[in-house]
Each structure stands twice: as C-alpha cells, then as structure tokens.
Amino acid sequence: MPQLGETVTEGTITRWLKQVGEPIGQDEVLFEVSTDKVDSEVPSPSAGYLSEILVPEGDTVDVGARLAVISPEPPSGASGGDGAGAAVAPERTEAPETPPAPPEPAPAPPEPATAQAPAAPAPPAPEPAPAQAPRPSATDAPTDGQGGGGQVLSPVVRRLLAEHDLDPSEIRGTGAGDRITRADVLAVIDARSGGGEAPARPVPARPAPSRTAPAPPAAPPPLPSRPQVVATPTGERDEVIPFSNIRRRTAEHMVRSKATSAHTLVAVEADFEAVDRVRGAERERFRAEEGISLTYLPFVARATIEALRAFPHLNASVGDDALIVHHDLHLGIAVDLDAEGLIVPVIHYADGKRLPVLGREAADLASRARERRLGADDIAGGTFTITNPGPFGTLITVPIINQPQVGILSTDGVKRRPVVVTLPDGSEGIAIHSVGVLALSFDHRAVDGAYASRFLAKLREVIETRDWIQEL
C-alpha cells in the first residue's frame, strides 16, 4: 500500500483494474484505493504480469502492506483463463485429496474418530508455505455453514467471524459491493462487549485458543467505531445509513484532532466594503479572463498570507516539546464533497502567489476534489487551513483543526449591515456596509489568545485597508 499522504496510515482497495494472469505496463493503472484523504488510481511500479492479488476489493490494509505480486513471466496455471483463482486453485486440489483417503475406512470400524483427528491437522502442515491463501480455503465451508450465504469474505474477516461466533448475514457491509470489511466486523465485536468468550465455541478443532488471544487487541485500532449508535433503539421508521469510507475517515480525523489539540476560538467582525467595491467593478472582467467567479475566498486567502507573515507561529505544527514553524506556507482549502465528507486540497507555496492565481488554484482544486480527480500530492503538506461556509450565510463557525496544523480560519457569511463610519469632516455617521465574521480555531499548546487575537486584527486590517485593485 503506497503512502498517499503524510498523515494517511491505511487505505481501502475499492477496485482492481487487472486480474491475475493479465499483462500490465509500467505506470498503467493497477487498482483504485480510498483513504481518509482522497480516492486515487495507483499505477503499476513495473511492467509484467499480475501473478497474485493478496488483498481483495473492499479490504482495508496499512500503508506498506503487500497488495499484489507482479512477475516478468505469466503465472503458471493462469494461462488457462481462470486468472483470479490461479493462486488458490492448487490449494483446493491438495486439500480435497487428503480427506478422500481417510473417509473410506471411516464408516465401518470405530476408528474413524482417530482417523479424522490426524486428518484435521494434515491441511495446516503444508499450508504455511504458500502464505495466507490456503487458510481461507480451509475455513470457507465453516463460514458458509454459519449463514454466510455464499458471501465473498477476506481471510481476516472470516477469521474474526469464526473466532467471535458471528453470523455474516447479520452484518451490514460497507465495502465495495456491500462487502463485509474488517472494520464492519470490529465494530460489531466492539459493540457487544461480551464477545470475548465466543471464540471458544466455534473453533474447538482449530488452534483457536492461541489465535483468540491476539483478537482483543485488534478491536481497539478503530477508536471512532466505539461512539457508534449501536445501542440506540431504532423504530420502524428509522433509517440506518452506514458510514461511507470517507465519512468514517473524516469522523476519525475530527475525533483525533479534538483529542490532540487544545482547541480555542477567537473571532472578529471585518468590514468587507473595500473588497465588495472591487468585486463589483471587476467581476465581469475577471470571469471573462479567468473563467471563474470572483468570490470573497481569494481576498481572504491573500489577506491570510499577509497576516501569517506577521504571525508565523500559526503557520506551524506542534512537535516533541517544541513548536515547528514552517517558513513555506502551504494553504489548505476545505472542500465539501456534497455532504459525503470533507477533503482539504492544498495550494502549495501560497505565500508567493497573487490574488488571481489563488482564485484559479482554489477553484481548480475544489472542482477536481468533487470529481474525485485529486492526486496524493494535491492534499499533502498543508500548514494552515481555511474553511469557507460563508456561501451558506453562516454567522460564526467553530472549525476543528486540521492535524498536524495549529490553526484553521473560518470565513462566515458576509451581509449588508449598518455600521458606524468616520465622515470626511471627522464626525461619525451610519452607513450600510458588507460585514462578515472571521473565526480562528487555534491550538492553545502552540500560542496564546493574545497572539491569535493579534493575528486576527492584522487579518481584518488587511481586508479593510488594502488597495485590492492593485492585486487584480
């Protein structure tokens, strides 16, 4: 499993584009993977033939795990056409051959019991050599007998089901094609806290006791599954919608962030009248030249860059008893994926870019994010994030910090309001201006409220006083 982002630790195989036995060229797309950050097509690192698929569609594995084997020659036995089963077929012919001999003498004498006892250990002996492929074959029958209904289950899922005495027909799969994934089973195991005793019953003949011991530690990794509403009573009119992969990963990331950072909020009102005047005068020309609308976002992004230059400790990460200040600004822009989840593509080296470029890149990243066309580089390396719920008319938003950053800025709705202004003669008057709230969530481990407040004051000053026509 490739590293698809600096904070990505695992990925889910959503689709294999090649089958066992098929040729593949270097850099030709081999499979699709979904992570908490992005859905990506992964190219083959070399040319050859796909000789073995080690991780089926729908399974989630850690970064660095082996997914498949590519060989320079076609795999033996795969040229016959049944490519997908090439690696498993030899196992199934060996496994049946061992049992047929003992079963014949078994019926007549009372020795069948002793004949069957050696027969059970026989398959495990040859199986260790071919890795993990044989074990799934040996457990296929028992799994179906427990109500599997012929579902295609990964070896890890079959083992967990057997050890915890679970019926797969009662588990709703969230993987590709409703496949039951490891996370689905672990969520059920975690929900029924008394499940530790179950493994003793289903697998007495196998070395279940020794494999049951490691099973409990496997449950803790997906911590976000614990707050699931499994115990909540549901009525006939209630609808249970399983989390999608990106929804689940977004939830995990948000919970982890709240557990990591000392979240604190500061907010200010900003007068966007100077911005609005420029937007009104330049809107049509900008759309004609750039092909996109001139929104508030690039103005706020440009002002944020200026403010972070003055207050660099918010363009940082918390290290081991130290603050790591980043002298390059890689600006993340949070994008809503049609209510399915959030993703934060990054404008790299934003501190060297002017307003039109920021507007173009932000629009391009948002478009490609919604079309699932972002690459791993597009979401890597962010040092500060802006989230923009303003188009929905929000008043004030308390965003969650995008780890491992220490600050995230929310730009809320800009509305026409009466404000006090200074007239040319020095007196005060009432005018109608465009006003919006800028809200900053910051990590109190990194900076204090006074520093964060001065940052917001600088940001507001840039928005209200900068000669924006010069930027365009």
Q: Taking the chain (472 residues) in consecutive chunks of 10 residues, what is each chunk's mean pLDDT?
A: 72 89 90 76 89 90 89 71 38 42 46 41 43 38 41 68 82 74 76 46 37 38 44 82 84 92 97 95 93 95 97 96 96 89 93 95 94 88 96 95 96 95 93 97 97 98 95 86
User: How much is the pLDDT for 122?
Assistant: 44
For the question of residue 444 being annotated catalytic, the response is: yes
User: How much is the pLDDT for 87?
Assistant: 38
| Cα 423 from chain centroid (whole Å) | 53
Partners of residue 430 on adjacent β-strands: 420
Q: Which of 253, 327, 448, 467 is catalytic?
A: 448
User: How much is the pLDDT for 61?
Assistant: 87
For the question of residue 448 being annotated catalytic, the response is: yes
CA distances (Å), 317 to each of 37, 38, 382, 428, in order? 19, 22, 10, 44
Q: Which of 165, 238, 444, 467 is catalytic?
A: 444
Please tell me whether residue 409 adopts helix, strand or coil conformation: strand
Q: Do β-strands 263-271 and 68-71 pair in parallel, antiparallel, or remain unpaired?
A: unpaired
DSSP state of 179: P
Partners of residue 409 on adjacent β-strands: 386, 440
User: How much is the pLDDT for 78?
Assistant: 52
For residues 328-366, one letter each, b for 16 or more C-beta atoms within 10 angstroms of the residue's C-beta and e for the rest, the string is ebbbbbbbbbeeebbbbbbbbebbebebbebbbbbbebb
Phi–psi pair at 435, nearest 5 degrees: -130, 140
User: How much is the pLDDT for 146?
Assistant: 38
User: How much is the pLDDT for 173?
Assistant: 78
pTM metric for this prediction: 0.60
